């Protein structure tokens, strides 16, 4: 295998490749060629110069044979931050960001950076209204998991950079421009931005109903799906954004920020699911006589399931067959083959109403 890295800075630049966190002797060039050992190994490279300090790359797993892990709420793997007026909390799968105390700003970030070049994230947002809102935040701030913005209209997010955030604003006034959502970068919020917040009617995110939120980011576009199953109401919106370029790396800390001000609110997030994914592309090859093999990379999220239909128009049903992992591919053998059949990977989100 051969890995290479591109870096910029004041010359000369010094390189050190590592495996499993330990330096590899002699691996001190921009390119590292090697014979891959057995098992799963984690490779990274750090780059430094005479000014001191080092920048480390995203770790690359070679030999991985499992689907990407899913991040959820728990009481041990998250860092909780506040401005002194509220202490955010995680109990079970419920994160409370504001509790109605007023002037509150808080954040919660998962302790391990995640790949953000492609992912699926979903959660349930609930608030009966008030002010000001929350964000789903992706950041590489120098503060790390302790990053926290201001209270009030700052959404607990302003000032966090480099970053990108899906913002949910629940306060209506002339500055905010109404209840809605937007994608902010580097701590910017909708108060004085050119685009402001986008109205998601018929979904009212401040209704007090459980609002299902799904964020699907792939190939430079974040697709947003909002569902209020009580109303019922659904709406979608998309935002073009280069997330790795914006946050300065292919990996970053993920989490939530939230705030209220003179107008207070109780805001909770529950049932978080986050998993990275590569494009879910299927391949079809000939198997033994009378059979075919459908395969897709193991780096596709396990939240995608193989489905089949006798027509492109559907209906689609799950394929009931064993999934084997061969050469970093999920493989399903289809037999016997009778007539025409169509197959696709379909997102199966247990949070979805």
Residue 234 exposed, middle or buried by CB count within 10 Å (0-12, 13-18, 19+): middle
Q: Enumerate the domain spans of the chain.
A: 2-62, 78-276, 283-347
Q: What are residue 269's DSSP bridge partners?
A: 95, 125
**pLDDT at residue 143 in the model:** 95
For the domain with range 78-276, which CATH number is right: 2.60.120.200, 3.20.20.10, 2.102.10.10, 2.40.170.20? 2.60.120.200
Asked whether 59 and 78 are in contact (CB, 8 A), the reply is no
Neighbouring residues of 166: CB distance < 8 A, sequence distance ≥ 6: 135, 136, 181, 183, 213, 215, 222, 224
Q: How far apart are CA 264 and CA 105, in angstroms?
A: 11
pLDDT per residue of the chain (353 residues) written in tens, 0 to 9? 899 999 988 999 999 999 877 899 999 999 999 887 766 677 889 999 998 778 888 777 776 667 889 999 997 899 999 998 777 899 999 999 999 999 999 999 999 999 899 999 999 999 999 999 999 999 999 999 999 999 998 999 999 999 999 999 999 865 556 899 999 999 998 765 556 899 999 999 999 999 999 999 998 999 999 999 999 999 999 999 999 999 988 889 999 999 999 999 999 999 999 999 988 999 999 888 888 999 999 989 999 999 999 899 989 999 999 999 887 889 999 887 677 889 999 999 999 99
Q: What is the DSSP letter of 146?
A: G
Strand order in the sheet with 342-347: 317-318, 304-309, 342-347
Q: How far apart are CA 225 and CA 248, in angstroms?
A: 26
Q: Of the candidates 142, 141, 146, 143, which has an alpha carbon nearest to the alpha carbon of residue 165?
A: 141
39-61 pLDDT, tens digit per residue, is: 667 788 999 999 877 888 877 77
**pLDDT at residue 121 in the model:** 98
Rg (CA), the chain: 23
**pLDDT at residue 225 in the model:** 98
- The phi and psi torsions of 154 (rounded to 5 degrees) equal -75, -15
Q: How far apart are CA 89 and CA 350, in angstroms?
A: 23
137-164 in b/e form (b: 16+ CB < 10 A) is bbbbbeeebebbbbbbbbbbbbbbbbbb
Q: How far apart are CA 222 and CA 237, in angstroms?
A: 9
Q: Map tokens 């989100």 to a residue.
A: 349
**pLDDT at residue 75 in the model:** 79
């Amino acid at each position: 295998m051969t890995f290479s890295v591109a870096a910029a800075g004041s010359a000369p630049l010094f390189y050190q490749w590592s495996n499993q966190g330990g330096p590899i002797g002699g691996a001190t060039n921009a390119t590292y060629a090697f014979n891959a050992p057995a098992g799963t190994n984690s490779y990274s490279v750090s780059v430094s110069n005479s000014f001191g300090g080092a920048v480390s790359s995203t770790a690359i797993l070679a030999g991985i044979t499992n689907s990407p892990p899913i991040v959820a709420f728990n009481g041990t793997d998250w860092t909780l931050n506040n401005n002194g007026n509220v202490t955010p909390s995680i109990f079970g799968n419920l994160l409370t960001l504001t509790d109605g105390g007023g002037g509150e700003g808080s954040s919660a970030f998962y302790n391990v950076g995640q790949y953000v070049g492609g992912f699926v994230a979903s959660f349930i947002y609930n608030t009966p209204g008030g002010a000001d809102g929350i964000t789903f935040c992706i950041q590489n701030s120098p503060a790390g998991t302790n990053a926290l913005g201001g209270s009030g209209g700052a959404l607990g997010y302003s000032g966090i950079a480099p970053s990108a955030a899906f913002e949910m604003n629940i306060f209506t006034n002339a500055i905010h421009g109404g209840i809605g959502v937007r994608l902010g970068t580097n701590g910017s919020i909708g108060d004085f931005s050119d685009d402001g917040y986008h109205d998601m009617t018929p979904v009212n995110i401040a209704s007090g109903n459980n609002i299902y939120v799904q964020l699907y980011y792939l190939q430079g576009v974040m697709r947003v799906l909002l569902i209020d199953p009580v109303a019922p109401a659904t709406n979608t919106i998309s935002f073009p954004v280069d997330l790795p370029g914006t946050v300065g790396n292919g990996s970053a800390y993920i989490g939530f920020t939230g705030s209220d001000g003179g107008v207070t609110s109780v805001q909770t997030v529950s049932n978080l699911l986050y998993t990275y994914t590569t494009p879910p592309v299927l391949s079809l090859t000939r198997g033994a006589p009378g059979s075919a093999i459908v395969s897709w990379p193991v780096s596709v999220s396990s939240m995608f399931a193989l489905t089949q239909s006798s027509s492109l128009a559907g209906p689609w049903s799950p394929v009931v067959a064993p999934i084997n992992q061969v050469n970093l591919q999920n493989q399903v053998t289809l037999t016997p083959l009778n007539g025409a059949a169509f197959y696709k990977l379909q997102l199966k989100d247990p949070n979805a109403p």
